[in-house]
Structure 1
Amino acid sequence: MPAPSTSQTELLNLLEDLIRKARASGADAADAVLFDSASVSLSQRLGKPERLERSESGDLGLRVFVGRRQAIVSSTDRSRQALDELVERAVAMARVVPEDPFAGLADPELLARTWPDLDTCDPDEPASELLIEQARAAEEAALAVDGVTNSEGADAGWSRSNIAIAASNGFAGGYAVSRRSLSVSVLAGTGTGMERDYEYDSKVYGSDLRAAAEIGREAGERAVRRLNPRKVKSQKVPVVYDPRVSRGMIGHLTGGISGPAVARGTSFLKDKLGQVIFPAAISIVDDPFVRRGLRSRPFDAEGVTVEKRTIIEEGRLTTWLLDLRSARQLGLKTTGHASRGTSGPPGPAPSNIYMAPGSRSREDIIGEIKDGLYITELMGSGVNGVTGDYSRGASGFWIENGRLAYPVSELTVAGNLKDMFLNMEAASDLELRFGMDAPTLRIDGMTVAGM
């Protein structure tokens, strides 16, 4: 286990003192979480700076248990008087709220005792001048693409957070995370025929970001390719999801296998554990131990040990995503997926999750399609988590005789996620970029509604 920095040691001491006060005030158990954050963000448009901001914040949350009753109180004030009042208020609230039979801290045998250094924090804060230069270079590269006529601006940012968690069951741990990001959005064409597109990148280390000029050039080229879109008639065809949107399918899956939704019976996958819900060629992995991963974590938000898990193994659903409470509701053991802020209880969330690449290339899975839709952008949130019904606005390119023939827009794609999962094929072009990633995906038999 890496030795915590001085600041993390101080943060853990603060939380442990808060927990001692809560126990002394009548709490049977308590835990606390703290976030100390700093960030810099800037935006510019057409070469002129529009915003440059730096912010720092600190927030902590205390959760106390009186029997099976729990209460959570948060504060940004760390003065002795404020923290004493915080403890008093939390314990008083916990004495009067209804009992929750599933609430409680982790048993000691579930706790993480050692953990690896995942290199989740870049120690260097970038100078504002560097962020300004990156935004400028990205926007200039986008505007230099023939056909690009205007810019919605470029944004660059940096953030760093120290995270500390402590509990009366003996857990105490902390780690730091950082993010660097760069994005640009531009317009192509003129008048009513203008089209917009964008490109962005986000990494733990600034040195791992794609080159600003590359990001800008891709944004410009994407916008130009969308010019003069056509409409198509309604029909059932194969649909291919670009990697920029295909990762949303993993989001729909994780929502469906989230412990609270399963326990409430409000998930379209509530009765699918252990069953085949994807083709045998599909596997989906959740890995909290990716070095410099955007969602890496050495332990979960309840101090529980985390591990790499194959969520979908050869098409079969192997596990729910569980925190302690939902695991108790279901009569199971937590999977170490608890996540939380300072003002609410923990809930399950994935770490770095990705769909393993398939055996065929993107060109191969498109090449055999006579008529179909290649989606590059989705709009709306028409997904019913209870039934799996799926309906989203879409734009992209029409596939004719195995090639992207022309841009299309003002379409709706519809189906049911259970059927979509079973008719899915993954291409071989997986890139781990965003913490939730999938390769190009093909789904046959979807309804495309157009004219």
Structure 2
Amino acid sequence: MSAIPVTSDRSQQDLDRLADLAQDVIRRARAAGASQAEVAASIDTGLSVNVRLGEVETVEHTRDRGFGLTVYFGQRKGSASTGDLNPDSIQATLDQACAIARYTEEDPAAGLADASLMATSFPDLDVWHPWDIDTHGAIRLGQRIEEAGRAHAGITNSDGAGVQMGESLAVYANSHGFIGRERGTRHSLSLSLIAGDEEGMQRDYWYDSVRAATDFMSPEALGDRAAQRTLARLGARRLSTRQSPVLFAPEIARGLIGHLVSAVSGGALYRRASFLLDHAGQRVMPSWMHIVERPLLRRGQGSGAFDAEGVATRDSALIEEGVLARYVLGSYSARKLGLQSTGNAGGIHNLIVEAGAADQGRDDFEGMLRRLGTGLLVTEVMGQGVNTITGDYSRGAAGFWVENGQIAYPVEEITIAANLRDMYAGIQAVGADVDPRSHLLTGSILVDRMTIAGE
């Protein structure tokens, strides 16, 4: 089985070498007595440039290699890894994995994913777009971004602009005879600025992350966006303690969806460490809400035809009419729970929160502000105050106070708190203003009520 047809492309040649190495090591593991074996091998290359105040701060070229082997002697498991692909290092890694497996306790849930679940179809997902940019070009691009941001009156300093180019090649193979090849690119631009006035200084940023460099917003637009966000924070106030509706901007709203995924993931469930334990088939969100995983989305940030165990991915609802339709499982957690893998070993793929509301409206950002009416728009959260065991949510926040659907003034040094169970049930609307820079795709999310702690 091969995820990508063989060509003369250099990246394909590297994938061929990784695949040959993986198959050879699996054969050697079986010869050493392993009943099952799996290999994950990768080559990551990249260029990273940071520019501050027009001068180069750092230039970094990377070429990292990884090789991980897991062997099973019955239901005893051993794993070892190395970043060195020379024969001696590979042999030492194999020896270590086998030695570990011989002395570990048996685990009834251990083993490869079921052979019947292995992917057999490998469509082109349009995620391979090498960026032909050299160091000089990246430096100049970073300078253009920063120049655009610093040109705004009121911007007093810069934390710098970043340009990153990345290419990743990966092979997963196992003793079922599965060999999956993947290659993908991910590139990013960023800028962080500082603005000041008589009341103090504020910092903010913006970034763009894409599979293909042709999809980037222009350097000038990114610089303008970072400057506008930074300047908008000047004159920030604190709020008195109160309760009010809260609108999470898209880039913050995806964190709420991430907490949902964590709470319904297998590891949390079989450890009984989730506030959504035993909630499959129960309503956890409003009846109009739908969240669906689309792993085969072309050019998606999380697209993939198979998961980290070779299991075929497929479109699948996570939330259907507000009901939790399933959990997020790899083969190990599925066995612990008496269920079947959902093709999510290694994580979720392109989770899409469908826009809408109780009245089925699909609002842009301005429309979501009007729905908020008077309340808090959150554009930044801080701290780690999320407990997925109890669902308690309490985080530092900053953003804007909104009155009558219009931004009134910036706010800072506040805390927002509620329970995730109540927050999910209290979602009033999801905007059509989707942030495309992540595998968690959602617009802004309006929650009916939270406690805001301030002065």
TM-score bucket (shorter structure): over 0.9
Question: 2:385 aligns to what SS in structure 1?
Answer: strand
The structural deviation recorded for 1:6 is 2.4
1:54 aligns with 2:55: no
Match of 1:30 in 2: 37
> Size of the alignment, in residue pairs?
442
Partner letter of residue 404 of structure 1? Answer: I
Which residues in structure 2 correspond to 1:34-113 (within 5 Å)?
34-113=41-120
Partner letter of residue 251 of structure 2? Answer: R
1:141 aligns with 2:148: yes
1:312 counterpart (298, 319, 338): 319
Moved more, 351-360 or 55-64: 351-360
CA distance, structure 2, for counterparts of residue 384 and residue 178 of structure 1:
34
CA distance, structure 2, for counterparts of residue 386 and residue 216 of structure 1:
40
Partner letter of residue 422 of structure 2? Answer: D
Alpha-carbon contact 1:261-1:267 (below 8 Å) kept: yes
Q: Deviations over 1:233-285 (max 9, x none)?
A: 10110011111211111110100010111111101111211111111221112
CA distance, structure 1, for counterparts of residue 89 and residue 380 of structure 2:
47
CA distance, structure 2, for counterparts of residue 298 and residue 251 of structure 1:
21
1:381 aligns with 2:384: yes
Q: Deviations over 1:336-368 (max 9, x none)?
A: 0112xxxxxxxxx11111211112423334325
Partner letter of residue 262 of structure 1? Answer: L
1:357 counterpart (355, 358, 367): 355
Which residues in structure 2 correspond to 1:106-255 (within 5 Å)?
106-190=113-197, 193-255=200-262
Which residues in structure 2 correspond to 1:320-399 (within 5 Å)?
320-339=327-346, 349-358=347-356, 359-361=361-363, 362-369=365-372, 371-399=374-402
Query: What TM-score comes out, normalization by structure 1 length?
Result: 0.95
Partner letter of residue 393 of structure 2? Answer: Y
The structural deviation recorded for 1:107 is 2.3
Partner letter of residue 149 of structure 2? Answer: A
The structural deviation recorded for 1:80 is 2.1
Alpha-carbon contact 1:356-1:430 (below 8 Å) kept: no
Alpha-carbon contact 1:247-1:438 (below 8 Å) kept: yes
Match of 1:343 in 2: none
The structural deviation recorded for 1:302 is 0.6
The structural deviation recorded for 1:440 is 1.2
1:3 aligns with 2:19: no
1:436 aligns with 2:440: yes
- Counterparts in 2 of 1:158 and 1:365: CA distance versus 1, 3 Å: closer
Question: 1:338 aligns to what SS in structure 2?
Answer: coil
Question: 1:26 aligns to what SS in structure 2?
Answer: coil
Unpaired runs of 5+ in structure 1?
340-348
Match of 2:9 in 1: none
Question: 1:54 aligns to what SS in structure 2?
Answer: strand
Unpaired runs of 5+ in structure 2?
7-11
CA distance, structure 1, for counterparts of residue 89 and residue 98 of structure 2:
14
Match of 1:411 in 2: 414
Alpha-carbon contact 2:18-2:42 (below 8 Å) kept: no
Alpha-carbon contact 1:354-1:432 (below 8 Å) kept: no
CA distance, structure 1, for counterparts of residue 48 and residue 140 of structure 2:
13
CA distance, structure 1, for counterparts of residue 432 and residue 26 of structure 2:
50
The structural deviation recorded for 1:110 is 0.8
- Counterparts in 2 of 1:447 and 1:62: CA distance versus 1, 3 Å: same
Alpha-carbon contact 2:131-2:165 (below 8 Å) kept: no
CA distance, structure 1, for counterparts of residue 67 and residue 273 of structure 2:
32
The structural deviation recorded for 1:155 is 0.4
The structural deviation recorded for 1:399 is 1.3
Alpha-carbon contact 1:280-1:316 (below 8 Å) kept: yes
CA distance, structure 1, for counterparts of residue 290 and residue 436 of structure 2:
15
Partner letter of residue 412 of structure 2? Answer: S
Moved more, 278-287 or 63-72: 278-287
The structural deviation recorded for 1:168 is 0.6
Query: What TM-score comes out, normalization by structure 2 length?
Result: 0.95
Question: 2:437 aligns to what SS in structure 1?
Answer: coil
**Percent identity among equivalent residues?**
40
Partner letter of residue 353 of structure 1? Answer: L
1:423 counterpart (417, 423, 426): 426
The structural deviation recorded for 1:314 is 1.5
Alpha-carbon contact 1:389-1:415 (below 8 Å) kept: yes
- Counterparts in 2 of 1:100 and 1:236: CA distance versus 1, 3 Å: same
